[in-house]
Amino acid sequence: MFLTEPPFTVLERSFYEAPTLAVARDLLGQLVVRRFADGEIAVGRIAETEAYTVGDPACHAFRGKSRANAAMWGPPGKAYVHINYGLHYCLNAVTAPDGVPEAVLIRAIEPVQGAARLLRNYTGQEDVTESSACSDKRIGAGPGRLTRAMAITKPDFDGHDLTDAGSALFLARGEKVNDGAVTTTTRIGITKGADYPWRFYITASRWVSRR
């Protein structure tokens, strides 16, 4: 656990300009940093991602640009937050060159710091300890869970710059995950393009949304 705010190294915009499948793979092990209005910080290590590209029938930009998906057109390194089935928000990192609507869905995070805050956000309970919250999968094992725990909404963060280390939400460099520790498989929760092997997760992680 971090006792104070560490000197985060933000992921620069050039990181997101790489091919989307490569970004999805390389986001594993990187950090989602959430700085709340009261100054408290929560950090999660990315454990699972999915890629969505131009021409992909499951991509939200497949039918063209709209008010809801406009953030996907970039520039890379911005957040695209969408509402899934009208029930919960999902956080995506916009990828590819500016004007190319592609993104990576962050499906799961492992708590690194501020787990108690994340669980309080998720449940509304106040009597939460850091040690007990660290093992509660509700605060990261799934795209809707992590956004609820981190208080990430479309009104507040759609189009937000994830490369701004001084902001309330950004992505920072974590630890490299070796290829042998990664599982590549098909995406889940969709009907179109469901056979594309564009989901990546840390094989040993307890926080993966679904095996």
In 10 A of CB 162, how many CB atoms? 26
Torsions phi, psi of 121, nearest 5? -60, -40
* 23 inside domain: yes
* 3 inside domain: no
* 86 inside domain: yes
- CB under 8 A, 24+ apart: contacts of 26-30: 27/93, 27/104, 27/106, 27/171, 28/177, 28/182, 28/200, 28/201, 28/202, 29/174, 29/175, 29/176, 29/177, 29/202, 30/171, 30/172, 30/173, 30/174
* 6 inside domain: no
Please determine, for residue 3, whether its predicted confidence score (pLDDT) is greater than 60. Answer: no
Q: What pLDDT does 2 receive?
A: 54
Q: Residue 120 belongs to what domain range?
A: 13-202
* 73 inside domain: yes
Mean pLDDT of the chain: 95
Amino acid occupying residue 152: I
Here the CATH number for the domain that contains residue 173 is 3.10.300.10
Please determine, for residue 1, whether its predicted confidence score (pLDDT) is greater than 50. Answer: no
Q: How sure is the predictor about 4, in pLDDT bands with cuts at 50, 70 and 90? A: low
pLDDT tens, position by position, 69-122: 999 999 999 999 999 877 899 999 999 999 999 999 999 999 999 999 999 999
Half-sphere exposure of 154 (CA within 13 A, CB side): 15
Q: How sure is the predictor about 173, in pLDDT bands with cuts at 50, 70 and 90? A: very high
User: What value does the mean pLDDT take over residues 117-144?
Assistant: 95
Tell me the C-alpha distance between 107 and 39, whole Å.
25
**Exposure pattern of 130-146 as b/e (b: 16+ CB <10 Å)?**
eeebbebeebbbbbbbb
* 32 inside domain: yes
* Structural domain count of the chain: 1
Tell me the C-alpha distance between 75 and 17, whole Å.
9
* 78 inside domain: yes
Tokens of 75: 């520039």
